[in-house]
Amino acid sequence: MTSGGIERGSFGRLSDGTVVERVTLRGAHGFEAAIIPFGAALQALVTPDRDGHCDDIVLGHDDLDGYLAQRKFFGATIGRYANRIAGARFVLDGETVRLDANNGPNALHGGLQGFDRKLWRIVELSDDPGPALVLERESPHGEEGYPGNLAARVTYRVRNPMELSITYEATTDRPTCLNLTNHSFFNLDGARAERQILDHRLTIASDHFLAVDATAIPLTGPPRPVDGTPFDFREPTAIGARIRADDEQLRLGRGYDHNFCLASGMSLRFAARLEAPRSGRVMELLTDQPGLQFYSGNFLDGSTAGKGERLYRQSDALCLEPQAWPDTPNRADFPSARLDPGQTYRRSIVYRFSTIGAPP
């Protein structure tokens, strides 16, 4: 079904026969975003290059079966808590909350069956101001160990004319911790281009990052300055320029897999810029989140076939995930991720696309 800048169609069926739709939101110049309710995931993001050729720039699968077969987080909404919580537990108001450990001793991306493995409901489609899709789900008290009955909402909207915004909202009936984000894997040369992202030039508006231990949990102590380290992306820098430097943090992460600390405040602000010299595509990322996890695709190991039956390998894509800092529920010195009854969690991500000319 097509209506204005929105198209709906079947993407596949769950094992119980439930149909999972694919909703495409269209902008200008061939720009479009396709979303599936399974995992409230961004399944495709099509943008033009400097010559006007449009291509999908996010990793994923061509049908639902690929998403069901393996949990790889491609484009998914992550919750209840994105990133890691040490020891799969935290203390809230004097009581220990025990989570499901699914990443060594830690809880990662919501546990064994996070929001990325749930079927969300399509509750609204709108063309004003710009094509939009609203998805909702209720996460019951105790799901993966997290307290509180949580009502969550995700809004995808295309506007201006090559801009995608994602807004997360949630309420709870008892104190809890919450951290939602999108886990898209980007390659601005195209998801089927068979080119790595090591030549992509990255800028991150951050003076500090969180050093981690061998299980990717932030070390005690304050954030580390990026100055003089391979983590300094304050000026545009090729991702591959220092990724193989003899640095303990790069060894632990097998590359970049670290939280960058953004300026404080709740307003939408510039966080990162990604440029692909070959295609000329540019993505600017704005958010109101306190952190940005930069992951350079280190654990893509060729075991997963994605779009076009292409095997995804190390450095085939990268993630830029705006979020609360990892392990925040265990760290009083980190910006809080607590949500109380009567409050509304609301966080936003904006991806803004343009192009640059060919390099000299």
Residue 26 covered by a domain: yes
Report residue 264's pLDDT band, with 50, 70 and 90 as the boundaries.
confident
User: Does the CA dihedral 313-314-318-319 come out positive or negative?
Assistant: positive
Cα radius of gyration (the chain): 19
Containing structural domain, residue 136: 2-355
Residue 278 covered by a domain: yes
Whether the predicted pLDDT of 162 surpasses 70: yes
Whether the predicted pLDDT of 160 surpasses 90: no
Q: Residue 24 in contact with residue 6, Cβ under 8 Å?
A: yes
3-state SS record for 34-54:
EEECECCEEEEEEEECCCCCE
Q: What percent of the chain has pLDDT over 90?
A: 94
Instruction: Confirm whether 183 is a catalytic residue.
Output: yes
d(CA 351, CA 290): 17
Residue 8 covered by a domain: yes
Give the pLDDT confidence score for residue 2 in this predicted structure. Answer: 54
Give the pLDDT confidence score for residue 180 in this predicted structure. Answer: 98
d(CA 342, CA 59): 38
User: Does the CA dihedral 192-193-196-200 come out positive or negative?
Assistant: negative
The arithmetic mean of pLDDT across residues 237-255, rounded, is 97
CATH number at residue 141: 2.70.98.10
* Partners of 10 in beta bridges: 21
The arithmetic mean of pLDDT across residues 195-222, rounded, is 98
Number of domains in the chain: 1
In Å, what is the CA distance from 5 to each residue of 22, 53, 254?
14, 20, 41
Written as six digits, the tokens of 163 are 């801009």
In Å, what is the CA distance from 22 to each residue of 59, 118, 154, 192, 209?
16, 15, 15, 20, 37
Give the pLDDT confidence score for residue 358 in this predicted structure. Answer: 82
Helices (H), the chain: 64-69, 248-253
**Beta strand pairing call for 41-48 and 54-56:** antiparallel
Residue 360 covered by a domain: no
Residue whose C-alpha is closest to residue 56's, from 164, 162, 191, 197: 191
Catalytic residue among 61, 109, 183, 200: 183
Give the pLDDT confidence score for residue 3 in this predicted structure. Answer: 54
In Å, what is the CA distance from 207 to each residue of 2, 192, 259, 306?
46, 34, 11, 35
| pTM of the complete model beyond 0.85 | yes
In degrees and rounded to multiples of 5, residue 86 shows phi and psi of: -65, 135
Residue 68 covered by a domain: yes
d(CA 195, CA 184): 17
Q: Residue 78 in contact with residue 55, Cβ under 8 Å?
A: no
Q: What angle do CA 13, 165, 351 make, to 5 degrees?
A: 105
Residue 328 covered by a domain: yes
- 3 state SS of 113: coil
Report residue 128's pLDDT band, with 50, 70 and 90 as the boundaries.
confident
Element (H, E) at 1: none
Residue 83 covered by a domain: yes
Helices (H), 200-356: 248-253
DSSP state letter for 197: S
Whether the predicted pLDDT of 64 surpasses 80: yes
DSSP state letter for 33: E
d(CA 335, CA 333): 7
Residue 240 CB neighbour total at 10 angstroms: 15
Q: Residue 212 in contact with residue 294, Cβ under 8 Å?
A: no
Report residue 194's pLDDT band, with 50, 70 and 90 as the boundaries.
confident
Give the pLDDT confidence score for residue 266 in this predicted structure. Answer: 73
Residue 23 covered by a domain: yes
Q: What is the pLDDT of residues 68-121, one digit of tens each?
A: 999 999 999 999 999 999 999 999 999 999 999 999 999 999 999 999 999 999
Q: What is the pLDDT of residues 271-330, one digit of tens each?
A: 999 999 999 999 999 999 999 999 999 999 999 999 999 999 999 999 999 999 999 999
Whether the predicted pLDDT of 158 surpasses 90: yes
Give the pLDDT confidence score for residue 181 in this predicted structure. Answer: 98
Give the pLDDT confidence score for residue 68 in this predicted structure. Answer: 97
Whether the predicted pLDDT of 222 surpasses 70: yes
